[in-house]
Structure 1
Amino acid sequence: MVDPVRLTLEQLRELRDDIAPQAARRSRASVRRRVDRWRDRIFFIVQCALAAGVAWALARYAVGHPQPFFAPVAAMVCLGFSFGQRLRRVAEVMVGVAVGVGVGDLFVTFFGTGVVQIVFVIALAMSLAVLLGAGTLMTTQAGVQAAIVTTLLPDPGAGFSRWLDAALGGVVALAAATIAPAAAIRRPRQQASAVLNELAAILVETADGLRTGDEDAVTDALRRARASESLLDDLRSAADEGVAVVRLSPFRRRHRGRVQEIADLVVPLDRAIRNIRVLVRRCAVSVWRDEKMPAEYPMLLERLADGTRLIAESLFEPHADVAAHRVLGELGRRTAVMPIPASLSGVVVLGQIRSTVVDLLELTGTTYDEARQLVPLRPDGLDEK
């Protein structure tokens, strides 16, 4: 007879032996993620720290303000967002500080400090900022600075010097922002490559699932296809940041052409992702419903994946563009002579393959009209968009 207590203890030991290595792996992975995140942000951290120090030093020793509190704060706030927003952000911070400091100093002069004064001055400063057409940052800054003036620094005679400190901090932030990290130039290309490689992997997984009738494989491919939209959002943000850097930083303007090339990929890549998502969904439906699909379709998807992967390589090795163009052109011509499938899913998949070929050809530098010509017309009317 099995002893339930002994069995439970043995199970607990086995569970302990299993959990300990898993916990150690998760801990190491967590540490690596944190270190990688720190490495990604170290330039920004150093930039903020140096800008704050320089702003304080200029306000303290060059301008002669004994307590230049707003100078380092304004510098850090202005640097704290994306490169393309910094010009507007400097103006918002300075106006917000001016409104907050002005209202705060006025109330401290006539009414002193206290709970009622704090509530009223913050509400008034934020309301005035809104009436001036301020955004969220400027409105918040007005309230924050009014609160600081009313509570921490109630000096009625220092209103202009505080605003000057904020302006000085903003100018220092703009100067620091011209020294942009090289990562802002590299990231769009790396992100575009990651998107394309993920699309290629999705197509390969779909082809395998379609060939073997594996429901789990096509379901996972569909999940990944739906999640690919977030990768495109990351690419769009990285491209916008890169374009802003090369436009505003005199040290990075020589990279303008390369960065703009990647930014121009976003629209056709967006169309390709949408078409691939529809394609994968219809392949998944055909497997779920056990519909018969042409035996050649998995191979077509694999060739489509090959073309997609070659485009990703071409972002770093330009000669791969020629190979991608050839593979996709051959695939487009092949789809033009294939017999019309018997099932609805087969018709949809064939049409989506043709549309995706057109989208991917545009990523190789081919114009839309040229790409359509490379995917010949079909006699049955099943043509690309």
Structure 2
Amino acid sequence: MWTEVIAVLIIALANVVCYITHEKSLLHGHLRLPKILFISNRSPCSSPRSRTYWSFDVLEPLHVVTSHWLSDTGLLLLRCAQLLFFAITLTLEGTTGDGYGDRPKTWWTYFTNWTFVLFAVWSVLGIIVTAKHVQAKASACDQHQALEAQEGRRVSGRDGSIGGLSSMDWRWTPLLKTYCIMSETNAASTLFLSGFFWAFLSGGPGAYQVDNILKHGVNNFFILLDVFLSKQPFVSYHFQVTLWYGTIYLVFMFIYYGASSEWVYWVLNWDKPSALGLYALLPLLLFAAHLVWYWVALLREFICKRLPVPDNRCFLLANSALLPAAYATDGMMCLDTSESRRLTDSPQLQQRRTRESSPQRSEFVLPSRSHSAAV
């Protein structure tokens, strides 16, 4: 009896500690704890500290749908390949009998399959948000003549109702926020699960079957490609959601054990005092997995800042006031090199570029923090 109480207390304590280390928590200020916010890649011109609980005010929404090296369409194809991988793996698992084919009634009880379904949902959301970005950008490219005409009216002083490119607004939509946090949760959970499986469970029968290799190895490769080729940020405070996800599964596992007297993972049987050490290790391993992806994102940013901008990539901020709502969700407009150079040579844009352009992001004309936008 005492072992199960301690196991529950360990998991509860891990969640409490994770909460109070957040600088926006109710207890953080009273305990005078250090602020441990760290972010792999911030929004340009963002403040040092976040003013919101989830820190989206210092993150760039376009980072989840754009890439340093891939075109927007290339990133979309990569995320389609992720969903295709899920479908192929699920098909092999069902047809070969390595997975749910020989245990269909308990397939849904495994954290492996919970996380693999999360991988699928993450892939679907990635396709949706990236496809919307590609569609919005294509529509904006078709409307660049309207932008040029509007710029001409502003130069001549005949249009004072619109504040120029400075009225641009990029914002985090609920869908983008969900996808961003789900990306971090999926990456950390999948890496943690792979390490846990090969370290503690691979000695059992059938450990090296095809479905286990695909779901505890190859899936990490697809996540690595997405993290390294996109601009997905990793934030310390977002780890709280990952810990919630793991805690929810443990609560489910405890309930399942109480109802069936069977442990989904025998190494977590709290009737064995040795299992308590593993319960204490689980939150730490999950956080370590989150840190690994944070370091991967840092490495990605380190490399991209030292690579030259491709000559065939030229972007111009599109004024959302000029564009219908169907494509006002995109903050950028892609033009061919000659046309974009002609538009960006206007005196207003030259002055703005001198004031606000970042040396680390020369392909962007950056908005100030007071400006508004739509993603």
* TM-score, shorter chain, exceeding 0.5: no
TM-score by length of 1: 0.27
Larger radius of gyration: 1
TM-score by length of 2: 0.27
